[in-house]
Amino acid sequence: MPQKPLRLLDIGAGTGRDAACFAVQGHQVTAAEPTDAFRLAGMRLHAAHDIEWIDDGLPHLAALSGQDNAFDFVLLTGVWMHLDKAERMTAMPVLASLMAPGARLIMSLRHGPVPEGRRMFEVTGEETIDLAEAAGLSLLRKRYTESIQPENRANGVHWTMLAFRR
């Protein structure tokens, strides 16, 4: 993470744990969250922090259309596997277009059994890297980890962490 303040976009920000952490560090944070209950809770929880909350989601992020090159850092923590393949193919060029030259994209992908009632798809690191490279991004780092939650780990949940640069 560079030391200077960044324009940061947290997509699928949930209740804003990461968005608030970055806002506290002085970054200019936009948090996109399509689920009202999460977004409204995040706005309440982190009302003291300067976060721009938007009601929007992938694949199109329509509220941010026209904001090409607007962000230095884009975060997708535990979000990508909620998109089906067609949505992932649409979403990656949208992500790339929002990134300034040199900007970073950090993603974590969840693998393993899908909790009942959740809309989640199997994604692979390889597919994600291929999509990112086709959209003009370069892979900086790839790491596989087990879940840190004992129950999930026992059930075979594991994660791929990916970092890209535009």
Contact residues toward ligand SAM (CB under 6 A) are 11-14, 17-18, 33-35, 38, 57-58, 77-79, 82-83
Query: Which of 111, 32, 110, 14 lies closest to 74 in space, CA to CA?
Result: 32
Alpha carbons 26 and 43: distance in angstroms, whole number: 18
* Residue type (1 letter), 70: A
Query: Which of 104, 138, 118, 93 lies closest to 27 in space, CA to CA?
Result: 104
| Comparison of 18 and 146: residue with beta carbon closer to ligand SAM | 18
Instruction: Give least dist CB 57 to ligand SAM, A.
Output: 3
Instruction: Give least dist CB 17 to ligand SAM, A.
Output: 5
| Comparison of 84 and 138: residue with beta carbon closer to ligand SAM | 84
| Comparison of 31 and 138: residue with beta carbon closer to ligand SAM | 31
Alpha carbons 142 and 52: distance in angstroms, whole number: 30
Instruction: Give least dist CB 91 to ligand SAM, A.
Output: 8
Instruction: Give least dist CB 126 to ligand SAM, A.
Output: 21
DSSP string, 70-95: -EEEEEEES-GGGS-HHHHHHHHHHH
Q: How far is CA 38 from the centre of its chain?
A: 15
| Comparison of 37 and 47: residue with beta carbon closer to ligand SAM | 37
Instruction: Give least dist CB 94 to ligand SAM, A.
Output: 11
Residue 43 φ/ψ, nearest 5 degrees = -65, -40
| Comparison of 65 and 138: residue with beta carbon closer to ligand SAM | 65
